[in-house]
């Protein structure tokens, strides 16, 4: 099985340490001591495959044969280098002798004279020597469950299930110090330093597959490549919670808002303050996930719920639930006269575990409640400890998340620990507990956003892209980058954007009808690319509290969410805009997203003021500014490099016919294909299922379905062949049925991919397999992969024959004589 390329960093099987000082290497008692003439191999952790070398204070840095003997004539997994910046090139030249797969460049107290030059040198050195470089100026790496401490820290952190990834050595050290005090453990700790080679996206990619990691805490200041970061973040957040703390909000609020949109679309949860980082991980790791944001509160006093309600509301992540009449009646019958039952539920009687259990049952069963927050203060007249034990028994089994707050310390700390130990989050203050629920709700919401396909369906009318591009070319030919009002309207019409420009400040009748002008703007962030902004058209759009931002491409659902996140919607539009006008606005935003996707030389687009009538939209002005230079390639040819998120690759959609004239479609898969794909697998014969999965698998697991249908189109691909068949449930109207499936998923080495192909039994021997594989191979080449390979049963003669005709080679599998490794060098035959 291929190792991940970062396994040499996180799970090294051999190690060279080259340092000018003693390092507190855990598990390596034989670490080089100051003044020692050389290193001697460490026992235990690397089974003797290690060498510790003290760099001399003066004279050249040279490795002896004894220093290099641990590599056994092959490549070392990892080299750790800790020398003064001025001696870094010399040290790297020395470690070349063991040809490490990865190098860690630890920080030094001496500052570099030119950090950018150092980073450029390290990047070039890594490329020349086929070596991944962590640093320079890295904190290093810890893997507590392995006893691995490749840092300046005296000892590794406690072992746990949280991975800590940062861009700051000081933040890393502070988090570790805090975590030690609260007994929090880690699966991995890494600070990437100056990111010469190993960067945040690569680390996220590794941790997404790490079996020792359940959740990821990420401290980030900025990212070099938005596309790579978005891709890695989405992959990690799809399988485990990712919580992000980002600094720099005050320095550039607009960029921060765009970055926040990137995190939201990636499915991650953002926190604003350092103290929230691990509260977020605690609640995401312990609690059930809610299906909404409506929270019920239960308390033994009125003060705590009032504090919690202060951080809840329509503009917050969570809001107060409205109970059904059935729940209200049951609560009145259960509680003492005078108790508050309309949420929050407040009882002043002595707490009784059985009664608390009955109240919780009523709240959890209410269809208008998505979660319950229990807020308890010390009460000398009640057995609060017994209530805590009851909550510890009930909460883990509840259908909806239950979060608790035990206010105080002296008598309540042990009760919080009791709840934490059974996997039910317990907090110290009402505000932090309410915020924890907000994190759960935000995680659910962002996961829904991350699962949206881009776009889910082809637009009803394909845009007249060539005509729009001709308008832009004509403007450039005339020496203009600013389009005229007429040209702006023509471009919008090419994309069927239902907005008419009156050329006036706005129709007073429309303004009176809606009550407030709107604005839609498209801008470009220097790092993340284009984004769409919606809000008020009265000049307040630039104020951070009155704007909603989304990254293209987006579909109708995301367009709707963009509007509903705006302050203008909450303040005015939700009450006054007609459903028909709202649909026109949603349609306009979705088509503007398509415009931005396909016209990569649009710098800005401003539609302001924008008014909504009962059924139509009218703009007072439209302005479109082009980039200074046109891109040399069309976006569909360049891979949409102007955007942070790769859209659905519509260019791969092909409409074909079988020899008998029956039409069929070849297209990339979409998330909504999960059910049709499951039906396809269920419909395979036992033989076809065995040939594909080498098992009698009857259907795909939920994890497999998600992996095959939620595709990162920038890095991998899955194709389906479909036909239209009658659908009796919808009066015979046709539905799409999958009859063939092919995909490739990147291998752990990052260079190649493993492919698979399966055709429905009734549709075999009709050329489907050949068509799917040819398209798959060309797509793999275009994504820069160097090879594809797959394992095929030696008895699957039809598949082996097809692959031979396609030019693939096959070799015996040394580990299993019943299998053949079938592979293709993608450099061969490339034009």
C-alpha pair distances (Å), 623 with each of 153, 227, 595? 56, 28, 14
Nearest-angstrom CA–CA distance, 665 and 458: 13
Which residues of the chain are in CATH 3.40.50.261 domains? 7-283, 289-450
Q: CA torsion angle for 172, 173, 174, 180 (degrees, to 10)? A: 110
Q: What is the largest CA-CA distance in the chain?
A: 89
Instruction: Give which of 514, 705, 753 is closest to 620, Cα–Cα.
Output: 514
Which residues of the chain are in CATH 3.40.630.30 domains? 650-825
pLDDT of residue 343: 92
Nearest-angstrom CA–CA distance, 528 and 294: 33
Q: CA torsion angle for 19, 22, 27, 29 (degrees, to 10)? A: 120
Alpha carbons within 13 A on the beta-carbon side of 351: 26
pLDDT of residue 385: 93
Instruction: Give which of 181, 67, 184, 201 is closest to 132, Cα–Cα.
Output: 201
What contacts 463, CB < 8 A, 6 or more positions away?
A: 494, 495, 496, 591, 594, 595, 598
Q: How many CB atoms lie within 10 A of CB 812?
A: 12
pLDDT of residue 275: 76
Which residues of the chain are in CATH 3.30.470.20 domains? 465-638
- Tokens 């957040």: give the residue: 237
User: Tens digits of per-residue pLDDT, 614-631?
Assistant: 888 999 999 999 999 998
List residues bridging with 722 in a β-sheet: 665, 738
Burial of 696 (0-12, 13-18, 19+ CB in 10 A): exposed
DSSP state string for 3-38: PPTTHHHHS-SSEEEEESS----TT-TTPPPTT-SS
Nearest-angstrom CA–CA distance, 790 and 800: 11
What CATH code is assigned to 465-638?
3.30.470.20
- Tokens 């019920």: give the residue: 296
What CATH code is assigned to 289-450?
3.40.50.261
Alpha carbons within 13 A on the beta-carbon side of 114: 6
Nearest-angstrom CA–CA distance, 752 and 777: 11
pTM (2 decimals)?
A: 0.83
User: Tens digits of per-residue pLDDT, 117-148?
Assistant: 989 999 999 999 999 999 899 999 999 999 89
Q: Are 592 and 533 in contact (CB under 8 A)?
A: no
Grouping H, G, I as helix, E, B as strand and the rest as coil, residue 91 is: helix
Distance in Å from the first CA to the final CA of the chain: 31
Pair type for strands 787-793 and 752-759: parallel
Query: Two tokens at 339?
Result: 């108790």
Q: How far is CA 360 from the centre of its chain?
A: 34
Nearest-angstrom CA–CA distance, 139 and 67: 25
C-alpha pair distances (Å), 351 with each of 138, 157, 301, 327, 355? 53, 40, 11, 20, 8
- Tokens 């396609």: give the residue: 806
Nearest-angstrom CA–CA distance, 488 and 477: 16
Q: CATH classification of 650-825, choosing from 2.60.34.10, 3.40.630.30, 3.20.20.80, 3.20.20.140?
A: 3.40.630.30
Q: Say if domain 7-283 classifies as CATH 3.30.70.870.
A: no
Nearest-angstrom CA–CA distance, 140 and 105: 8
Nearest-angstrom CA–CA distance, 348 and 346: 7
C-alpha pair distances (Å), 635 with each of 533, 601, 640? 22, 10, 4
| Spans of the chain below 70 pLDDT | 1-2, 25-48, 72-73, 182, 285-287, 313-315, 451-460, 504-515, 540-546, 694-696, 730-732, 828-831
What contacts 365, CB < 8 A, 6 or more positions away?
A: 327
Interior angle at CA 654, CA 649 and CA 656, nearest 5: 165
Interior angle at CA 766, CA 763 and CA 770, nearest 5: 110
Grouping H, G, I as helix, E, B as strand and the rest as coil, residue 758 is: strand
């Amino acid at each position: 099985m291929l190792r991940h390329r970062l396994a040499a960093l996180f799970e090294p099987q051999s190690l060279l340490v080259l340092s000018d000082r003693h390092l507190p290497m855990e598990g390596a008692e034989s670490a080089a001591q100051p003044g020692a003439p050389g290193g001697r191999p460490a026992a235990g952790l690397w089974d003797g495959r290690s060498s510790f070398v003290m760099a001399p204070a003066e004279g050249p840095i040279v490795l002896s044969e004894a220093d290099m003997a641990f590599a056994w004539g092959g490549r070392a997994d990892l080299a750790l280098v800790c020398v003064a910046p001025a001696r870094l090139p010399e040290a790297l030249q020395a470690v070349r002798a063991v040809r490490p797969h990865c190098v860690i460049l630890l920080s030094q107290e001496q500052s570099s004279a030119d950090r950018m030059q150092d980073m450029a040198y390290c990047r070039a050195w890594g490329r020349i020597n086929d070596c991944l470089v962590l640093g320079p100026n890295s904190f290093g790496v810890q893997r507590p469950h392995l006893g691995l401490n490749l840092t300046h820290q005296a000892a590794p952190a406690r072992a746990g299930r949280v991975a800590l990834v940062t861009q700051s050595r000081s933040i890393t050290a502070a988090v570790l110090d805090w975590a030690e005090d609260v007994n929090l453990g880690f699966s991995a700790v890494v600070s990437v330093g100056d990111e010469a080679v190993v960067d945040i996206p690569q680390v996220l990619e590794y941790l997404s597959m790490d079996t020792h990691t359940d959740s990821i805490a990420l401290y980030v200041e900025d990212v070099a490549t938005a596309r790579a970061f978005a891709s890695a973040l989405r992959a990690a957040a799809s399988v485990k919670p990712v919580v992000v703390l980002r600094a720099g909000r005050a320095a550039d609020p607009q960029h921060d808002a765009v970055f926040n949109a990137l995190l939201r679309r990636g499915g991650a949860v953002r926190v604003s303050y350092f103290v929230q980082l691990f509260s977020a991980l605690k609640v995401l790791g312990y609690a059930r996930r809610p299906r909404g944001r409506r929270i019920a509160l239960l308390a033994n006093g009125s003060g705590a719920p009032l504090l919690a309600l202060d951080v809840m509301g329509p503009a917050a992540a969570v809001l107060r639930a409205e109970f059904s009449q059935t729940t209200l009646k049951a609560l009145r019958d259960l509680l003492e006269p005078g108790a508050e039952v309309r949420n929050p539920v407040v009882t002043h009687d002595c707490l009784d575990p059985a009664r608390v259990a009955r109240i919780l049952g009523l709240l959890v069963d209410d269809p208008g409640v998505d979660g319950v927050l229990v807020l308890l203060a010390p009460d000398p007249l009640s057995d609060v400890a017994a209530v805590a034990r009851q909550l510890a028994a009930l909460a883990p089994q509840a259908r909806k998340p239950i979060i608790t707050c035990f206010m105080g310390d002296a008598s309540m700390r042990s009760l919080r620990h009791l709840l934490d130990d059974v996997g039910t989050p317990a907090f110290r203050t009402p505000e932090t507990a309410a915020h924890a629920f907000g994190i759960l709700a935000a995680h659910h919401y962002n996961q829904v956003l991350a699962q949206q396909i881009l776009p889910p369906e082809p637009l009803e009318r394909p845009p007249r892209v060539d005509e729009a591009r001709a308008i832009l070319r004509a403007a450039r030919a005339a020496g203009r980058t600013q389009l005229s009002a007429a040209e702006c309207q023509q471009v919008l019409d090419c994309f069927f954007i239902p907005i008419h420009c009156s050329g006036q400040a706005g129709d007073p009748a429309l303004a009176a009808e809606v009550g407030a002008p709107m604005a839609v703007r498209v801008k470009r962030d220097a790092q993340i690319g284009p984004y769409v902004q919606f809000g008020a058209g009265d000049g307040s759009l630039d104020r951070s509290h009155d704007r909603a931002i989304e990254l293209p491409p987006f579909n109708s659902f995301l367009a709707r969410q963009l509007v509903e996140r705006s302050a203008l919607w909450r303040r005015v539009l939700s009450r006054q805009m007609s459903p028909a006008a709202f649909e026109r606005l949603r349609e306009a935003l979705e088509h503007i997203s398509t415009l931005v996707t396909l016209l990569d030389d649009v710098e800005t687009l401003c539609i302001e003021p924008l008014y909504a009538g009962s059924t139509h939209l009218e703009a007072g002005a439209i302005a479109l500014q082009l980039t200074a230079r046109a891109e040399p390639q069309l976006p569909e040819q360049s891979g949409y490099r102007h955007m942070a998120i790769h859209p659905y690759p519509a260019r791969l959609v092909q409409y074909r016919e079988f020899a008998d004239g029956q039409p069929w479609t070849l297209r990339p898969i979409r998330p909504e294909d999960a059910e049709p794909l499951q039906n396809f697998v269920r419909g395979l014969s036992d033989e076809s299922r065995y040939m594909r999965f080498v098992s009698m698998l009857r259907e795909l697991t939920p994890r497999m379905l998600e992996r095959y249908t939620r595709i990162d189109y920038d890095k991998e691909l899955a194709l389906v062949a479909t036909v239209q068949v009658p659908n009796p449930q919808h009066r015979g109207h046709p539905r799409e049925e999958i009859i063939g499936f092919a995909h490739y998923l990147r291998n752990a080495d990052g260079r190649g991919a493993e492919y698979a192909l399966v055709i429905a039994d009734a549709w075999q021997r009709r050329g489907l397999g050949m068509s799917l594989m040819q398209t798959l191979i060309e797509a793999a080449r275009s994504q820069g992969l160097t090879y594809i390979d797959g394992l095929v049963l030696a008895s699957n003669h039809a598949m082996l024959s097809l692959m031979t005709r396609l030019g693939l080679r096959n070799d015996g599998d040394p580990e299993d004589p019943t299998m053949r490794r079938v592979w293709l060098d993608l450099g061969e035959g490339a034009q």
